[in-house]
Amino acid sequence: MTVQVEEIRLNLPHIEMAAHLYGPEDGHPVIALHGWLDNAATFTRLAPLLPGLRILALDFAGHGYSAHRPAGGNYLLWENVLDVLLVAQAMGWERFSLLGHSMGAIVSVMLAAAMPERVERLALIDGLMPYTGEADQAPEKLGEALRAQLALPNKRKPVYADVQLAVNARMKGVGSVSREAAEILARRGLMPVAGGYTWRSDSRLTLASPVRLTRAHAVAFLRKISCPVSLVLAEQGMLHHEPNIQTLLQGLPFDVHTLAGGHHLHLDDDTGARAVADCFKPFFASA
Answer yes or no: are the C-beta atoms of 214 and 134 closer than 8 Å. yes
Residues 6+ apart with CB under 8 A from 211: 76, 133, 138, 141, 142
**CA–centroid distance for 219 within its chain:** 19
State the sign of the Cα–Cα–Cα–Cα dihedral 11, 2, 200, 211: positive
Model confidence at 24, pLDDT cuts 50, 70, 90, reads very high
Strand ranges, E, within 96-168: 96-101, 119-125
Answer yes or no: are the C-beta atoms of 52 and 23 closer than 8 Å. yes
H helix and E strand count, the chain: 9, 10
Question: pLDDT digits over 104-163, tens only?
Answer: 999 999 999 999 999 999 999 999 999 899 999 999 999 999 999 999 998 889 999 999
- pLDDT score for 242: 78
DSSP state, 160? B
The C-alpha atoms of residue 117 and residue 24 are separated, in whole angstroms, by 24
- pLDDT score for 47: 98
In this structure, the number of other CB atoms found within 10 A of the CB of residue 249 comes to: 16
The more confident residue out of 47 and 73 is: 47
- pLDDT score for 176: 85
Nearest 5 degrees, angle CA 80-CA 10-CA 95? Answer: 65
Strands 119-125 and 229-236: parallel
In the chain, the percentage of residues whose pLDDT exceeds 70 is 99
Q: Which residues are catalytic?
A: 102
Closest to 10 (Cα-Cα) out of 70, 80, 86, 71: 86
Burial label for 86, CB within 10 Å (0-12, 13-18, 19+), is middle
Average pLDDT over residues 179-197: 97
- pLDDT score for 240: 76
Residues 6+ apart with CB under 8 A from 143: none
Question: pLDDT digits over 221-273, tens only?
Answer: 999 999 999 999 999 998 877 778 888 898 899 999 999 999 999 999 999 99
Answer yes or no: are the C-beta atoms of 266 and 49 closer than 8 Å. no
In the chain, the percentage of residues whose pLDDT exceeds 90 is 88
Average pLDDT over residues 13-28: 97
- pLDDT score for 21: 98
Closest to 124 (Cα-Cα) out of 234, 9, 200, 251: 234
As a whole number, the mean pLDDT across the chain is: 95
- pLDDT score for 2: 59
DSSP-assigned letters across all residues of 173-206: SSS---HHHHHHHHHHHEEEETTEEEE-S-GGGG
Q: Which helix (H) or strand (E) holds 230?
A: strand 229-236
Q: How far, CA to CA in Å, does 102 sit from each of 14, 135, 287?
A: 25, 24, 23
Question: pLDDT digits over 199-221, tens only?
Answer: 999 999 999 899 999 999 999 99
Closest to 230 (Cα-Cα) out of 250, 246, 253, 248: 253
Strand ranges, E, within 59-193: 96-101, 119-125, 190-193
Question: pLDDT digits over 86-104, tens only?
Answer: 999 999 999 999 999 999 9
The more confident residue out of 272 and 286 is: 272
The C-alpha atoms of residue 280 and residue 99 are separated, in whole angstroms, by 9
Report the first-to-last Cα separation within the chain, whole angstroms.
27
- pLDDT score for 229: 98
Average pLDDT over residues 269-278: 98
Q: Looking at the predicted structure, is the pLDDT value of residue 33 above 90?
A: yes
Domains and CATH numbers, the chain: 5-133+213-285 (3.40.50.1820)
Q: Looking at the predicted structure, is the pLDDT value of residue 174 above 90?
A: no
Residues in the chain: 287
